[in-house]
């Protein structure tokens, strides 16, 4: 279970990840970097379920935007 300050750090890291990859050219290398960074953040946040859900949400949203949905 995450405490409040840990969750705040996760939100901050998730926002930075989203902001970094939003609007980038979506080539294979970009997707690999995004996934690697998301995996690193998941590890950083103790492999907590909430951290996994946040990383999946960020990746899914970037993918949705890329597909123009």
Q: Angle of helix 28-44 relative to helix 49-66, nearest 10 degrees?
A: 160
Domain that holds residue 54: 4-66
**Positions in the chain whose pLDDT score sits under 50:** none
> Residue 69: what pLDDT?
63
> Residue 67: what pLDDT?
85
> Residue 43: what pLDDT?
98
Total domains in the chain come to 1
> Residue 68: what pLDDT?
83
What ranges in 1-69 are assigned the alpha helix state H? 4-21, 28-44, 49-66
Contacts of 46 (CB under 8 A, 6+ apart): 6
């Amino acid at each position: 279970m995450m405490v409040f300050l840990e969750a705040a750090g996760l939100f901050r890291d998730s926002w930075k990840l989203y902001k970094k990859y939003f609007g980038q050219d979506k080539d294979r290398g970009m997707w690999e970097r995004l996934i690697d960074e998301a995996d690193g953040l998941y590890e950083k946040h103790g492999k907590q379920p909430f951290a996994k859900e946040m990383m999946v949400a960020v990746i899914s949203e970037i993918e949705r935007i890329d597909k123009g949905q």
